Structure 1
Amino acid sequence: MTDSPLRVKGREMRRKLVGKAYADRLDKEVYDDPVMEKFGELTQEMLFGTLWSRPGIDLKTRTLVCVVSDTATGRFPELKVHIRFARNHGWTEDELVEVLLHLLGYLGAPLVREALIAAREVFAELHAESGDTPK
């Protein structure tokens, strides 16, 4: 099957957001079966090809919107992916932690605690992948 131009655009955007190596890993570990492949096709077209590609706000801002949204709704597996997006687009670990801490007064301690645990795990993965030592 030939990919639509929108899916090609979406696949490129997804790789830009998450990084090539991590996108390849997701493709092999998550999207390698027929059910998830269908989900991947739709998200590449609809989310990444359309929503993430819209003008109006930059990618850095869009990634932070997702971090806040995932935290507010308790979507911690997705939060891990979106924290990776955010780090890849200029947010520092300290800034992301501060954003999550700011949500404490609006969302409550349980959601923020889980979000910080997720962030810590992603930060550790990113440091391991890059060979950097965390501060």
Structure 2
Amino acid sequence: MDKGELYKKGSEMRRELMGGAMADQMATSVYNDPLMEKFGDWTREAVFGLLWTRPGLDLKTRALITVITDTATAAWPELRIHLRMARRQGWTEDELGEALLHTAGYIGAPSVREALLVAKEVFAELRAEE
């Protein structure tokens, strides 16, 4: 795949959102085979290069939207990643917890319970890393 301007733009945005350590870790553990490398290239262009760089919303708001959509679609591995990104964008543990609780009335308690359990683990990991 030709790694053009959108790939470069998306790679920079991804690194900004995740932090260098997480981006590097994922590159060597998740996207280290041809099948997943193709997916990683696509997400750099389509998700990080196009969606995350659009005008109209700041990165902090986009991060919260992503956490909520992960919860609504039961995307638990992605939620782990996006909770970390949301914390890097300035959301507090309390704010993210409240946002997740708020969604219970719209998507249901079981999904929110699972999201809160994921958040509990991620927040503990982040505190231990500090």
Q: What is the TM-score when the length of structure 2 is the normalising length?
A: 0.96
Q: Which amino acid aligns with 2:39?
A: F
* Aligned twin of 1:133: none
Whole-Å separation in 2 of the counterparts to 1:52 and 1:82: 13
1:127 aligns with 2:127: yes
* Aligned twin of 2:14: 14
**3-state SS in 1 of match to 2:54:** coil
Q: Which amino acid aligns with 2:123?
A: F
Q: How does 1:101-116 map to 2 (within 5 A)?
A: 101-116=101-116
Whole-Å separation in 2 of the counterparts to 1:105 and 1:5: 42
Whole-Å separation in 1 of the counterparts to 2:16 and 2:72: 25
**1:3-41 C-alpha deviation (Å, 9 max, x unpaired):** 211101100100101111011110111001110000011
Q: Which amino acid aligns with 2:86?
A: A
Q: How does 1:34-113 map to 2 (within 5 A)?
A: 34-113=34-113
Over aligned residues, Cα RMSD in angstroms? 1.1
How many residues are aligned here?
130
Q: Which amino acid aligns with 2:17?
A: L
The percentage of aligned residue pairs carrying the same residue is 61
Whole-Å separation in 1 of the counterparts to 2:107 and 2:36: 31
Tell me which stretches of 4 or more aligned residues in structure 1 moved more than 2 Å.
none
Gaps of 5+ in 2: none
**3-state SS in 1 of match to 2:56:** coil
**3-state SS in 1 of match to 2:105:** helix
Deviation at 1:47, TM superposition (A): 0.6
Deviation at 1:2, TM superposition (A): 5.7
Q: Which amino acid aligns with 2:16?
A: K
* 91-100 or 118-127, which deviates more: 118-127
**1:22-79 C-alpha deviation (Å, 9 max, x unpaired):** 1111011100111000001110011101110000000000000111111111111111
Whole-Å separation in 1 of the counterparts to 2:100 and 2:17: 20
